[in-house]
Structure 1
Amino acid sequence: MLVEKEPSTWKELQNCVGQVFRDIGFEVLVDEKDFQLRGGDTVNLDVWAKDIELPTMPTIHICECKYWKETVPKEKVHAFRTVVSDAGGSVGYIISQKGFQEGAEQAASQTNINLITWDDFQQIFEEKWVKSMYSQVKDKIDSILNYINSRYLSNDFKGEGEKYLKSIRILGRLLSLQSTFIYDLIKESKYPLKIVEPDGTTQEFTNRKKYFTELLKIVESIKQQFEGIVGRKID
Structure 2
Amino acid sequence: MKPWKKYQEDVSTYFTSLGLEASTDITIDGVRTKHDIDVLVKSRHVGFDITWIVECKLWKTPVTKLHVLALREIVADVGADRGIILSESGFQSGAQEAAVLTNVQLTSFGEVREIAQNSFYALNLRELYDRVEVCRERYWSISKQDRIEAGLRPDSCGFGYSGDHIVRCCSALLARAFRGIYPFQSDSLEEVVLFGEDKIFESSKEVIEIVEKLTGELEGKLDAYCQSR
TM-score bin, normalised by smaller chain: 0.5 to 0.7
TM-score (norm 2): 0.64
Q: Deviations over 1:189-220 (max 9, x none)?
A: 11114553324241321x32233122212333
Matched-pair contact (CA < 8 Å) for 2:22–2:42: yes
**Does residue 84 in structure 1 map to residue 72 in structure 2?**
yes
Structure with more contact order per residue of length (Cα contacts < 8 Å, sep ≥ 6) = 1
Change (3 A) 1:65 1:209: farther
User: What is the TM-score of this pair, normalised by structure 1?
Assistant: 0.63
Residues 1:183 and 2:170 are matched in the alignment: no
Number of residue pairs the alignment of both structures matches: 204
Distance 1:86 1:79 in 2: 11
Aligned to 1:94: 85
DSSP-derived class of the 1:110 partner: helix
Match of 2:11 in 1: 13
- 1:202 maps to a residue whose letter is K
What amino acid does structure 2 have at the position aligned with 1:100?
S
Structure 1 residue aligned with 2:63: 74
Q: Distance in 1 between matches of 2:200 and 2:169?
A: 13
Alpha-carbon distance in 2 for matches of 1:34, 1:189: 38
* 1:202 and 2:191 correspond: no
- Residue ranges of structure 2 left out of the alignment (5+ in a row): 1-5
Q: Does residue 216 of the first structure (1) align with residue 212 of the second (2)? A: yes
- Matched residues in 1 for 2:44 and 2:148: separation? 44
Q: Distance in 2 between matches of 1:201 and 1:169?
A: 22
CA distance in 2, matches of 1:117, 1:234: 49
Q: What are the superposed Cα offsets for residues 116-173 of structure 1, whole Å, 9 maximum, x if unpaired?
A: 1234224444664344212332233234322321114143437x9x942335656335
Q: Mapping of 1:37-52 within 5 angstroms? A: 37=30, 39-47=32-40
Confirm or deny: 8 A CA contact 2:132 2:170 kept in the other structure.
Answer: no
Secondary structure of the residue aligned to 1:42 is strand
For 1:14-73, what per-residue CA distance to the aligned partner results, in whole angstroms no more than 9, with x for missing partners?
A: 243366594xxxxx76336222356535323412559999x9xx996431135x4x6454
Write the distance in 2 (CA, Å) between the matches of 1:38 and 1:111. 23
Partner of 2:124: 133
CA drift at 1:111: 0.9
Partner of 2:92, secondary structure, is helix
Of 20, 24, 30, which aligns to 1:31?
24
CA distance in 1, matches of 2:53, 2:116: 14
Higher mean Cα deviation, 148-157 or 163-172?
163-172
Task: Quote the Cα distance in structure 1 between the aligned partners of 2:107 and 2:16.
Answer: 16
Q: Please say if residues 27 and 37 of structure 2, whose CA atoms lie closer than 8 Å, have aligned partners that are also in contact.
A: yes
